Structure 1
Amino acid sequence: MRKGKFKTLKERFQKRLSDWVEKYLSSGGKEVLIKAIMQALPVYAMSVFQFPAGLVEELNQMIRDFHWGDEHERRRMHWLSWDKLTQPKACGGMGFRDFRVYNQALLARQAWRLIQYPDSPSARLLKAKYYPVGHLLDTAFIQDVSATWRGVMHGLDLLKQGAIWRIGSGSMVKIWRDN
């Protein structure tokens, strides 16, 4: 999907940040505002669509600028890198979410639901359209797909990295194809 499709989300993001004057908030107040409001705004859309890399970077940049107190004409010192701020508090970070990783994790959750609940109406519909024969994890997909299914495929890439296959009775093993 193109970045322009998410214009209203970006505008809502900017409006929420402009409603709060950052110089009157403490560091703890900024942290609560970012975690409770800003990182919760795009969760539904992120669980359905793969966000473009440019949009993800813009959203992360808006949060970074608000956290550090940057303004249009004046930049402040960034005492820690964004990678450090996105680490959990137990590891020395602030626990902020990196939207790129979070988007893929939410989409992997949708793929996991298709595997766990194959009899649900949405799983049956998607199976009939995109992988009528075979299993979700070992199917090659067509290129001309909907934006929602493209997001599921993006999450499936992450899911495949951590998926293991238990042999069990061996009835599902295809000796010439499976490792």
Structure 2
Amino acid sequence: MTYLGVPVGGNMSRCNNWEAVVTKFTSKLSLWKARLLSVGGRLSLIKSVLGNLPTYFMSLYYMPAAIRSKLESLRQNFFIGSELGDRKMAWVSWNTCLASKELGGLGIGSIHALNVGLLFKWIWRFLHNQSDLWISVIKGIYGCSGGIFGENFARSCHSPWSGILSMIKKLKHKGIDLMALCKRKLGNGESILFWEDVWWGNQTLKNLYPGIHMLDSHKDCCVAHRLPPHEWNTVLRRDPRGGIEASQFNELRLHIESILGHGLQIFTRVSRLPRFGFWMIRTS
């Protein structure tokens, strides 16, 4: 099924579902004669046209590596003045051309970086616009955190959201932790889940203190309901036993005391991306 020119319901990790983008690329190139254009002209066309052709697709789906490589190859060949089917030597690495001008490149930008930036924007919207209908649907399928901070989600489901979650996990395995670039600021605690959300440190409290999480009679509680004046002995199914449970309970109490030492302000999401990074996240 196709909706507004984009396949819906298919497995977009398969290369054959991206053939429409490749065809559009090659059809554009066939209309231009690279050898008749100056380097500046080819650079302008690459930035304004070729780089934006797959934007609609990339804002919903994570592009397969094979398709990404093919599109970058088409852009590179056009930039060096090679016609379709011809072979011409490149005197400068294409990765150098993709780099920003501050790093000695031409500021073209890679298709992969654009794809990741567009998809991560959905994560940003999920964390900011909690009242939207689509977010309620995501939470109903993937849990309160949308599967963003957990490892368990429907891997057999080939939905756009599962593709975004897979992208985040793949990049994290490569040392690029996108979620670490988002940080919560403490607030009144009414809209943040105590156990499920990452609101203090880099992990959920459910993962840090699994024994106490199992004892909590209301696991979907918000932060405000687990801080003073609320008492823990009224929310636990039973008192923590010795050993691991007692140790985790004492650590959790110290954790809460350190949090209270910082005071409570309004909860917000802030970006910690440096200005020289891959992209800037904007809420507008």
| Cα distance in 2, alignment partners of residues 74 and 11 from structure 1 | 18
Q: Could you say what secondary structure the match of 1:110 adopts? A: helix
Q: Which residue of 2 aligns with 1:32?
A: 44
1:124 and 1:103 map into 2 onto residues whose CA distance is 25
User: C-alpha deviations, 1:71-98, integer Å up to 9, x for none?
Assistant: 4664333121111111112322111121
- TM-score w.r.t. the length of structure 1 is 0.86
Which one of the candidate residues 75, 81, 88 is aligned to 2:100?
A: 88
Q: Once the two structures are superposed, what CA deviation does each residue of 1:43-64 show, in whole Å capped at 9, x if it has no partner? A: 1100100111000000000000
Written as runs of structure 1 = structure 2, the 5 A alignment for 1:1-179 is 1-71=13-83, 74-131=86-143, 133-134=144-145, 136-140=147-151, 141-157=153-169, 158-166=177-185, 172=194, 174=205, 176=209
If asked which structure has higher relative contact order (CA below 8 Å, sep 6+), I would say: 1
Bigger Cα displacement from structure 2, 28-37 vs 89-98: 89-98
CA contact under 8 A between 2:147 and 2:165: conserved in structure 1? no
Partner Cα separation in structure 2 for residue 152 and residue 9 of structure 1: 19
**Conserved in 2, the CA contact under 8 Å of 1:85 and 1:95?**
yes
Is the contact made by 1:68 and 1:76 (CA closer than 8 Å) also made in structure 2? yes
State the Cα distance separating 1:110 from its structure 2 match: 1.0
TM-score by length of 2: 0.56
Aligned AA for 2:74?
A: M
Unmatched tracts of structure 2, length 5 or more? 1-12, 170-176, 195-199, 211-251, 256-284
Distance 2:168 2:67 in 1: 21
Superposed displacement of residue 147, structure 1: 3.1
Moved more, 156-165 or 60-69: 156-165
The C-alpha deviation readout for 1:109-154, integer Å capped at 9, x for no partner, is 11111111111111111111122x4465423323122331223214
Structure 1 residue 155, shift from structure 2 partner: 4.8
Q: Which structure shows the bigger proportion of residues in strand conformation?
A: 2
Deviates more, 1:33-42 or 1:157-166: 157-166
The structure in which a higher percent of residues are helix is 1
Q: Quick check: 2:126–2:135 contact (8 Å CA) kept in 1?
A: yes
Tell me the matched-pair count.
178
1:164 match: secondary structure? strand
CA distance in 1, matches of 2:136, 2:65: 30
AA aligned opposite 2:24: R
- Residue 144 of structure 1 aligns to a residue in which SS? coil
Larger Rg: 2
Structure 1 residues 41 and 139, CA, compared in 2 at 3 Å: closer, same or farther? same
